[in-house]
Amino acid sequence: MDPPSTLKPEQVARAMVKQAVVKHRTRYDKIFFKAVLAGLMLSFGGLMNEIVSGGMPGLNQSNPALVRMLGGFVFPTGFVLIPMLGLELLTSNMMVFPMAVVIRALPWWSLPLNWVIVTFGNLAGSLFSAAILVKYSGIISSEPYISGVRSYAQRKAVDPQFHQIFLRGIGCNILVCIAIWLATGARETTSKLIAIWIPIWVSTDLPAVAQWPIYPASARFSWLAPLTM
């Protein structure tokens, strides 16, 4: 008899606790390097989203919902690489480490320590992408992409109030955690890809680590530079 295609919830929970223990026992420099790579992978998806969304200004005026759906569909292309390559992402670690700490599989201080290391690693990867892959490569250095990046950063970081950004971030992190949970429970690659793709597609219009490279990129083209200070 073939094994089931997905793990049971309690099996997924145990697998995630085991992941947290392995992460905690990994050297800090390796954790940081994996976090940098994760920020870079996420940036690929964010860049694809900007190219698709910013490259259709006419359709964006007539049917903005369709543009967001198309941009959101390509957005997970970078995210799926993170669990497949075993990289470190802040938003997913915000789920696995508390699970391990609650059952006392890890000491409490392992949680803030990992989050700090991974935060700066994800940020470094995102800034590297914004500088090398966006600014110096000139991928989106012409219209309509310049206006698209400006509009995106304005809509994400300027127009909403702080509490709105915070609440949207909660929704985004819930969807990211669902994606990681489903991917952990899937036994084969195709199921993992689908399990990740759908929640991340839905989360595209919410604040996330993947949007970190967009704000420095927008600062190159507009008055949004203070956002990156």
Domain contains 227: no
CATH code where residue 185 lies: 1.20.1080.10
Q: What are phi and psi for residue 133, nearest 5 degrees?
A: -85, -20
Contact 215, 226 (CB under 8 A): no
Cα–Cα distance, 129 to 216 (Å, whole number): 10
Domain contains 2: no
Write the DSSP string, the chain: -PPPSB--HHHHHHHHHHHHHHHHHS-HHHHHHHHHHHHHHHHHHHHHHHHHHHT-HHHHHH-HHHHHHHHHHHTHHHHTHHHHHT---HHHHHHHHHHHHHTTSS-TTHHHHHHHHHHHHHHHHHHHIIIIIIIITTTT-STTHHHHHHHHHIIIIISS-HHHHHHHHHHHHHHHHHHHHHHHHB-SHHHHHHHHHHHHHHGGGS--GGGTTHHHHHHHHSTTGGGG-
pLDDT (tens place) for every residue of the chain, 229 residues total? 667 778 899 999 999 999 999 999 999 999 999 999 999 888 888 888 888 877 777 777 888 788 888 888 888 888 899 999 999 999 899 999 999 999 999 999 999 999 999 999 998 998 888 888 777 777 777 777 777 777 777 777 677 788 887 888 888 889 999 999 999 999 888 999 999 999 988 876 655 555 555 555 555 444 333 433 3
Looking up tokens 């890809």, which residue turns up? 193
The total of structural domains in the chain comes to 1
Domain contains 3: no
Contact 195, 182 (CB under 8 A): yes
* CA dihedral angle for residue 210, residue 92, residue 79, residue 31, rounded to 10 degrees: 90
Domain contains 145: yes
Looking up tokens 């995106």, which residue turns up? 152
Domain contains 229: no
Angle between helix 110-128 and helix 90-102 axes, rounded to 10 deg: 170
Global pTM?
Answer: 0.82
Domain contains 29: yes
Domain extent at residue 109 = 9-221
Q: What is the pLDDT of residue 31?
A: 97
Closest CA to 156 of 29, 56, 22, 53: 53
Q: Which two tokens stand for residue 154?
A: 């304005």
β-pair partners for 6 = 186
109 φψ region: left (φ > 0), alpha (ψ -120 to 50), beta (else): alpha
